[in-house]
């Protein structure tokens, strides 16, 4: 039953958030928040332990952690209905990750697509650290601590949630039912928003070019500019056809999401019109779609102290649940009670 589900998800504060994070994750979260009673247990984290698995700068991480929380609030997450927490403030995440890591075969981690991609990108310059390999185990701990039933994420995280499922099952088989086995929840249309400068790559914070992504905090001018220079496909027709027109199909999805107009309607409206006209409409829709979030963000930025109170309260609530789960785990695996 949807209304009873316990939900967990989170974002790494490793830079500014982009519209892929928004359409793939945060928008799903807002719907879940509306559909669930406050007491059902919805937790959204700012996953700073995950953010240090790739090279980072300490001051920027602190800043991004605060900014990500401001974005959560500006987007409409409501601390009265959801628990907003900072991962490193709840030590149970790191503790459970250690335990689960002792039960996760190396081979399962080495075959994770994100590990392969990220380690390839980091390899020569920075070396590959074991924390990057262990990242999905930490993510499993995040999810399992809250007896999560469903994990709303974009497509790139599906494999990690599947691993969390098998880690949960393995633990339950060995020690008796301890964890809920979480289901992955993706919004099909927006699960993989692609880069604006290369429709074969997903939109990403680590994308090489700034032109590939639209940040949630980009100015209207920056948005217009990025939309203007977004790559399109050959041919003039404005139609949704992911195989033959991947770039345009991606833009149509973004347009539809920000305008609330179905793709079919956009195709009809732009039949016979030029890419230039289409892009002008798209830029307008993104700018208007982000305007409420951006004005709320600027307002919240002025009162930063308030957000810390929200994060403290949320992390405390989260720690109470996480602590109970961890205590049960410790008992089952045979640690002497402290």
Q: Would you tell me which residues interact with ligand TYM (CB under 6 A)?
A: 8-12, 20-21, 24-25, 47, 50, 139, 142-143, 151, 153-154, 156-157, 191-193, 202-204
| Nearest distance in Å: CB 338, ligand TYM | 27
Task: Mark whether 236 is an active-site residue.
Answer: no
| Nearest distance in Å: CB 138, ligand TYM | 7
| Nearest distance in Å: CB 231, ligand TYM | 16
Q: Which residue, chain included where needed, has tokens 């830029």?
A: 283
Spatial distance between the Cα atoms of 299 and 291, rounded to a whole number of angstroms: 12
Q: Which is nearer to ligand TYM, 24 or 314 (CB)?
A: 24
Spatial distance between the Cα atoms of 20 and 194, rounded to a whole number of angstroms: 8
Token pair of 267, please? Answer: 């195709």
| Nearest distance in Å: CB 156, ligand TYM | 5
Task: Mark whether 202 is an active-site residue.
Answer: yes
Helix/strand number for the chain, H first, E second: 14, 5
Q: Which is nearer to ligand TYM, 6 or 202 (CB)?
A: 202
- Catalytic residue, chosen from 177, 188, 201, 202, is 202
Q: Which is nearer to ligand TYM, 45 or 79 (CB)?
A: 45
Count of beta carbons in the 10 Å neighbourhood of residue 313:
14
Q: How far is CA 183 from the centre of its chain?
A: 16
Nearest residue to ligand TYM by CB is 24
- The region that residue 2 occupies, defined by phi over 0 for left and psi between -120 and 50 for alpha, beta otherwise, is alpha
Token pair of 118, please? Answer: 């990220």
Q: Which is nearer to ligand TYM, 204 or 270 (CB)?
A: 204
127 contacts: CB under 8 Å, gap ≥ 6: none
Cα distances (Å, whole numbers) of residue 148 to 42, 75, 168? 9, 23, 11
Task: Mark whether 80 is an active-site residue.
Answer: no
- Catalytic residue, chosen from 205, 226, 245, 279, is 205
Spatial distance between the Cα atoms of 184 and 154, rounded to a whole number of angstroms: 10
Q: Which is nearer to ligand TYM, 208 or 299 (CB)?
A: 208
Q: What is the CA radius of gyration of the chain?
A: 21
| Nearest distance in Å: CB 12, ligand TYM | 4
- Catalytic residue, chosen from 60, 80, 116, 118, is 118
Active-site residue numbers? 118, 202, 205
């Amino acid at each position: 039953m949807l209304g009873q589900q316990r939900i967990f998800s989170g974002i790494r504060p490793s830079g500014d958030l982009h519209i892929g994070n928004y359409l793939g994750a945060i928008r799903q979260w807002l719907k879940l928040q509306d559909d669930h009673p406050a007491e059902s247990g919805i937790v959204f984290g700012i996953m700073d332990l995950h953010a240090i698995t790739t090279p980072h700068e300490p001051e920027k991480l602190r800043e991004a952690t605060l900014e990500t929380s401001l974005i959560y609030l500006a987007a409409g997450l409501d601390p009265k209905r959801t628990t907003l927490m900072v991962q490193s403030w709840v030590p149970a995440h790191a503790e459970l990750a250690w335990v689960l890591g002792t039960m996760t075969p190396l081979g399962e981690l080495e075959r994770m697509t994100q590990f392969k991609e990220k380690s390839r990108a980091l390899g020569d310059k920075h070396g590959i650290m074991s924390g990057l390999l262990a990242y999905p185990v930490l993510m499993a701990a995040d999810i399992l601590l809250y007896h999560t039933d469903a994990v709303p994420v974009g497509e790139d995280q599906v494999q990690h949630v599947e691993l969390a499922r098998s880690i949960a099952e393995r633990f339950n088989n060995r020690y008796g039912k301890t964890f809920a086995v979480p289901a992955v929840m993706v919004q099909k249309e927006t699960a993989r928003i692609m880069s604006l400068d290369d429709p074969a790559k997903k939109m990403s914070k680590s994308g090489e070019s700034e032109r590939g992504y639209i940040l949630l905090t980009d100015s209207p001018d920056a948005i217009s500019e990025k939309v203007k220079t977004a790559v399109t496909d050959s041919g003039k027709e404005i139609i949704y056809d992911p195989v033959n027109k991947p770039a345009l199909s991606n833009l149509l999805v973004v347009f539809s999401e920000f305008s609330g107009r179905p793709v079919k309607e956009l195709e009809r409206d732009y039949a016979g019109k030029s890419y230039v006209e289409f892009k002008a409409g798209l830029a307008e829709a993104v700018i208007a779609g982000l305007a409420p979030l951006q004005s709320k963000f600027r307002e919240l930025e002025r009162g930063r102290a308030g957000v810390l109170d929200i994060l403290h309260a949320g992390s405390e609530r989260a720690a109470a649940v996480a602590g109970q789960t961890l205590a049960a785990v410790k008992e089952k695996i045979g640690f002497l009670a402290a």
